[in-house]
Amino acid sequence: MSNLVFSGWRALTQRSIQIGREGVFTVLSSLRTSANGAYEALTGAPAPGRGWRAAQAHDHTESGGGAVLPRGVIWNTDNGLGAGWEWAVPNTVVPLGTPVSYFYDFTNSADTRRPTLICEVTDGINNTKTNRLSSDCVLEARLIVFIENQYALASNTVDFRFYNEQTGDASSYQSATIAASSSDVVELSFGDIPLNPTSGTHEYTLEVTCDYQCTLRVQSLVIAETRESSQPASAGSYVYDSVQATTRS
């Protein structure tokens, strides 16, 4: 999967450039265009080598008729230097194997909110379509989360998954294990977030299970449509037909 989160890049620097003397350049494409225009104006015929291709206007969605193309990021949050999107009920034990959602909504007005987030999926991308990997179309995600294990006697394994509120399907669990009385920032990748049978609005809940008490703060979450996992294999209804296209002489 291509990177969904960009970090660690060294800032580009600029160097002063001193111009020794003035220069002149010519854009040959402009010269060619002018010559072709003059030829057609004088002769009333297309310039030698000129041609045309028949095309039907379309966009790259299912209703537009073109090959359905993924839009990339469809949901993103990043807390930067902030505290993060925090676990709503501190010191709560989540029974292993019983996934729940204890994240506040963005206004901090409701805990155990379901769904955690709502996003819009491109027209033509849904679970009835087969992707380029010959599987059902899905979404991908990258999660960066701070985890503090509040239990002093053993390590704590925390499992995360995305639950589709509309279909009841869920992604695979991605896990992180934190040593006793320790904390860490971990990065988790998800490659099988389930889609609905239809495109458009999708509702997801970020669910968690853990062995012992812990504190969680989501620092960054990116959900994306990708070429490999989300793009349908079909080329769409409108494709270039070399038999129908003609070139004038």
Q: pLDDT digits over 200-212, tens only?
A: 999 998 888 888 8
Contact 199, 157 (CB under 8 A): no
Domain ranges (residues) in the chain? 24-52, 72-225
User: Where is 39: in which H helix or E strand?
Assistant: helix 28-43
pTM confidence score = 0.68
| Residue 90 confidence (pLDDT) | 41
Specify the residue for token string 């609905």: 196
For residues 78-105, average pLDDT: 55
72-225: which CATH topology? Jelly Rolls (2.60.120)
Contact 152, 226 (CB under 8 A): no
Torsions phi, psi for 173 (to 5 deg)? -70, 140
139-162 pLDDT, tens digit per residue, is 999 999 989 888 889 998 988 999
Whole-number mean pLDDT of the chain?
Answer: 76
Of the listed ranges 43-47, 67-71, 84-88, the least confidently predicted one is: 84-88
Contact 224, 74 (CB under 8 A): yes
CA dist 59 and 68 (Å) reads 8
For residues 86-106, average pLDDT: 48
Q: Is the pLDDT confidence value at 109 over 80?
A: no
Tell me the chain's radius of gyration from C-alpha atoms: 27
